[in-house]
Amino acid sequence: MKFRLSLFFFLLLSFQTFPGEIIKDDILETKIEKAYSDIYAFHFEDAIAQISQLKKDYPSSPWPYIIASNYHWWMYVAGENTNKTVKLYYYNVEMAQNRISSNKTHPNIFCQLAVFSYLSRFEMMQNDYFSVLSRMKTYLNELLFSLGKEEEYKAFALTSGLYYYLIQALYDDYLVLRPLLMLFPEGDKKQGLKLLKETSSSESSLLSNEANYFLSKIYADSEKNYYLALYYTNNLLQNFPDNFIFLYYYKTYRAKISMESQEWEVQYEIEKYNNNQLTEKQNKYNNFLYHSF
């Protein structure tokens, strides 16, 4: 089945991880890990309070603004899909971009790739694939710099894994995109999956969570292997049981392979309404997904 470009935007364009290999400040690293955990746990009020403080404590760093972009993205995905959310999202992406040093260090290159991903997300949602690939051309130097350096800089194993898998998938499935794709390094699905699987067991919880997420979506939407999709989604739910998007994926994959999930669903039903940090729109979206089965 044709690989969906909507998956391409959601995977390649949603990586953002900040383990110790990226941030050389133990205090900042700890704060960022906590903020990211709260975002993925859908503890949005706690997350935005931490982000606001990080902006005050680290005004010249791009990291608080990258985290804020991720926060507004997940607010949008979780149902708060308003113009205000989108404006705040782009504002924080621009603030992050303005704070990235031009020095070609591993962390700066990673930040540049993250900014590219954020700038391209809504274009992909609008199926404007040519604009995204055209934008990617302006980041070709950063891509070339990062590929092959996965041992030097562990975060690149995530971005390279996504790149290798997804570029080949696009080349295989979309003839119209091949002229543009020829401008980029060749993809390789097997190498991409290998790097992602290695990253899924990383000692960095942030890297491993991201890799588990991407693998769950790749196996479900592209490979159609729902057993492996369920495996990686379950890994996420062990850490973030209140994330109703992850739960929706879990229930979908269980249904796909006709497995009984009543015991887990009863447990979730008890916990389901305990999250008082969702907005009214997010609660409605949560209920819609919950009752879609």
Would you kindly state where each structural domain of the chain is located, as residue ranges?
5-290
Tracing tokens 């196996």 back to the chain, one arrives at 219
Cα separation, 118 vs 62, in Å, equals 13
In sequence order, which residues have a C-beta less than 8 Å from that of residue 20 and are 6 or more positions away? 26, 29, 204
DSSP string, 206-247: HHHHHHHHHHHHIIIIIS--HHHHHHHHHHHHHH-TT-HHHH
Q: Taking the CB of residue 152, how many other CB atoms lie within 10 A of it?
A: 10
Tracing tokens 């091949």 back to the chain, one arrives at 178
Phi, psi of 156 (to 5 degrees): -70, -20
Cα separation, 119 vs 13, in Å, equals 9
Report the sign of the C-alpha dihedral through residues 245, 251, 253, 256, in that order: negative
Give me 224's structure tokens: 């159609």
Q: What is the pLDDT along the chain (293 residues), one digit of tens a residue?
A: 444 544 444 444 444 444 444 455 667 778 888 898 899 999 999 999 999 999 999 999 998 999 999 999 999 999 999 999 999 999 999 999 999 888 888 888 888 888 888 888 777 677 677 777 788 888 888 888 999 999 988 888 988 998 899 889 888 988 998 998 998 999 999 999 999 999 999 887 778 888 999 999 999 989 999 999 999 999 999 999 999 999 999 988 988 887 544 444 434 443 444 577 888 888 888 777 776 66
**How much is the pLDDT for 288?**
77
Cα separation, 228 vs 158, in Å, equals 18
Decide: 96 and 65 in contact? Cβ < 8 Å.
Answer: yes
pLDDT digits (tens, 9 = 90+) for 188-220: 999 999 999 999 998 877 788 889 999 999 999
Q: Tell me the pTM.
A: 0.82
Nearest partner of 207 among 169, 250, 162, 258, judged by Cα = 162
Distance of alpha carbon 220 from the chain centroid: 16
pLDDT digits (tens, 9 = 90+) for 13-53: 444 444 444 455 667 778 888 898 899 999 999 999 999 99
Cα separation, 115 vs 174, in Å, equals 25
- What is the chain's alpha carbon radius of gyration, rounded to the nearest angstrom? 18
SS (H, E, C) 104-122: CCHHHHHHHHHHHHHHHHH
Give me 114's structure tokens: 């993250």
**How much is the pLDDT for 154?**
87
Long-range contacts of 119-123 (CB under 8 A, 24+ apart): 119/93, 120/9, 120/13, 121/9, 121/13, 121/14, 121/73, 122/86
